[in-house]
Amino acid sequence: MKVAVGQFAVGKVWQENAQTCTELMAQAASAGAAMLVLPEALLARDDNDPDLSVKSAQAANGEFLNLLLEESRKNTLTTILTLHVRTTAGRAANTLFALRGGEVIARYQKIHLYDAFNVQESRLVDAGKQVAPLIEVAGMKVGLLTCYDLRFPEMALSLALAGAEVLVLPAAWLRGAHKELHWSTLLIARALDTTCYVVASGECGNRNIGQSKVIDPLGVTIAGAAEAPALFFAELESQRITDVRAMLPVLQNRRFSGPVLE
C-alpha cells in the first residue's frame, strides 16, 4: 500500500487550512496513494491564542469537513485528520475523521487528553471513551490514534490485538525539552510493541515540531520530514508484517490474555 503523509503549519483562517488539505489530497491521489495522513487540529491555530483550536470548532457536518468531503468524492483515497467538533458551549471534542469517496467511514474522539507539560487540554476539550474500530485500506487493517495517545502503549497494543497492521497518528507535538526525542522514541516503541507500521503526521510551525515519520514493524524509519511543510510517500507491505511477526512474535508471546482496553 502506498501511503502519503502531509505536514504543514496550521494558520488562523480555516478556509486557507481547508485549501491546503484539499491540495494535499489531490496531490496524494494523483501520485497513486491509497491513504493520506494529515496532522491534528486542522481548523485553526494561533501562536498567541492557544484556545483558537477550540474557539474555531465547527459542527461535524460543518463547512470545513464538507469541503474535504467534496474533494474526497473525486477518487478512492482514504484521508485521515482531526478537527475540533463543538460539544457544549465553549467546549469541543478533538475528533479524528477518516474520509473516503465523499463519506466519513470512521470517526474517533481522542481518549487521552494532553494534560501534561503545563498544558491542560481537558480544560476545554471533552475526552472520548471508546477505541476506534479498525478500518481497511488497500487490504490492510488500520488502527486510529491521535497525538498524546502515543504515550499509552496499551492503546496501540489493543488495536494490534484486534488485528491492526498499520497504526496512524495525526499529531501536533509541542516543542520543548527532550520532546523531539520523546516523539521519535515513542513512535519506534509503538511499532516494536505491536509489530505494526506506524504512520504519523505532525503539524509544524513555531509551536510544534513537525517531523512526520513512517516506521516499519521492526522500528526502522522508512520515510520522514523535518520541520518544514512537506508531502512524502512510503510503501507498506503486508509481507513485511508477516515476516517480522514470524521472527518477533511478541503478540503471540504475551503472558497476559484478552484485550487491554475495551
CA 120 vs CA 16, 20, 116, 125, 168: distances in Å: 27, 28, 7, 9, 24
Are the C-beta atoms of residues 32 and 67 closer than 8 Å to each other?
no
Among 71, 110, 165, 204, the active-site one is 110
147: annotated active-site residue: yes
Among 147, 203, 204, 213, the active-site one is 147
Q: Tally Cβ neighbours within 10 Å of residue 158.
A: 18
Closest by CA to 172, choosing from 58, 94, 111, 233, is: 94
User: Nearest 5°: phi and psi at 178?
Assistant: 70, 5
Rg of the chain taking only CA atoms, in angstroms? 17
Among 40, 71, 121, 165, the active-site one is 40
Tell me the CB-side half-sphere exposure of residue 185, using CA atoms within 13 A.
Answer: 7
110: annotated active-site residue: yes
74: annotated active-site residue: no
Q: Which residues are catalytic?
A: 40, 110, 147
